Amino acid sequence: MERQITIRHNQEELTATIHYPLKETAEGGRCQRVPLVVICHGFVGSRIGVDRLFVKTAREFAEDGYMVIRFDYIGCGESSGNYGSEGLDSMIAQTRSVLDYGLSCADVDPTRITLIGHSLGGAVALQTAVRDRRVKNLILWSAVGYPFNDIVKITGRDVYDTSVKTGSADYLGYSFTPVFFDSLAQGQPFQEAIKFTGNVLVVHGTSDEVIPVDYAFLYQKVFWMRPEGRCDKEIVFQADHTYSAGPQRELLLQRTRDWLNEQEHIQQEWQNWSI
């Protein structure tokens, strides 16, 4: 079952879709709590995703027994506000508001929270996980590594220059302020990655012409430097930035599902051993 909801964040409203788990989670006649997955979309994206990537993702995870929330950041999709006036800190705060909502649902297990972030959403998800200890697992799909350089490469340098000179600049109908670009310059995902203590899956496509596949190897190297938490990497051959081709998309989703289900299995075994 799916339901469209609105999550309040300060003076704005974040439009979201919540997917309820389809798999039975009852054991011995007693309902168990379910894990929560929150999907963070990328630059000027939406909770639907290119070619409905996030819709398909959420539905498949719901089949595996997860509660999933996909949402539009301020000024994107159907949410209120102006995307270009918000910075990374605001997007991190918005993500935490969505986590607050998800954890307020009675059936959600607060010890089994996962963030999936695509592209710029990967950097947002990572920095949210560093600041919010409720996040236990992190999945990065084609994540940006240097937010300012990566996004300016997408918009073009002229958009940034115009924003600095005039106070705002148009890109695809969005109005971007210097505040937005300044926040990107301050964001340092590679430096912050070492602070996250949970488990991580990094996925990237070899045919990604937007964000270099080399970032996946850099992320894994940094995550391996941590004293705790594991990091796995999946390089999808011939996948583009949005995994738009069928075989590559299926591999992305299957590998992600397998990895997260493995984390669930490990945690259940640990709980049984502890008991």
pLDDT at 30: 42
Residues 6+ away with beta carbon under 8 Å from 35: 65, 66, 67, 108, 109, 112, 113, 114, 264
Between the two ends of the chain, the Cα-to-Cα distance in Å is: 33
- In this prediction, residues 37-54 reach a mean pLDDT of 97
**What is the model's pLDDT at position 93?**
97
- Residues 190-206, mean pLDDT to the nearest whole number: 97
Asked if 56 and 253 count as a contact pair (C-beta separation under 8 A), the reply is yes
DSSP letter for 23, please: S
**Ramachandran angles phi, psi of 92, nearest 5°:** -65, -45
Share of the chain above pLDDT 90, in %: 89
CA distance 260 to 242: 20
The string of pLDDT tens digits covering residues 3-19 is: 999 999 999 999 999 99
pLDDT of residue 270: 64
Domains and CATH numbers, the chain: 2-23+30-145+189-253 (3.40.50.1820)
What 8-state DSSP symbol labels residue 210? S
pLDDT digits (tens, 9 = 90+) for 68-112: 999 999 999 999 999 999 899 999 999 999 999 999 988 999 999
Beta bridge partners of 232: 201
Q: Which of helix, strand or coil describes residue 154?
A: helix
Q: What percent of the chain shows pLDDT beyond 70?
A: 95
Is residue 61 within 8 A of residue 257, CB to CB? The reply is yes
pLDDT in tens, 14-35: 999 999 998 764 443 345 889 9
* DSSP bridge partners of 248: none
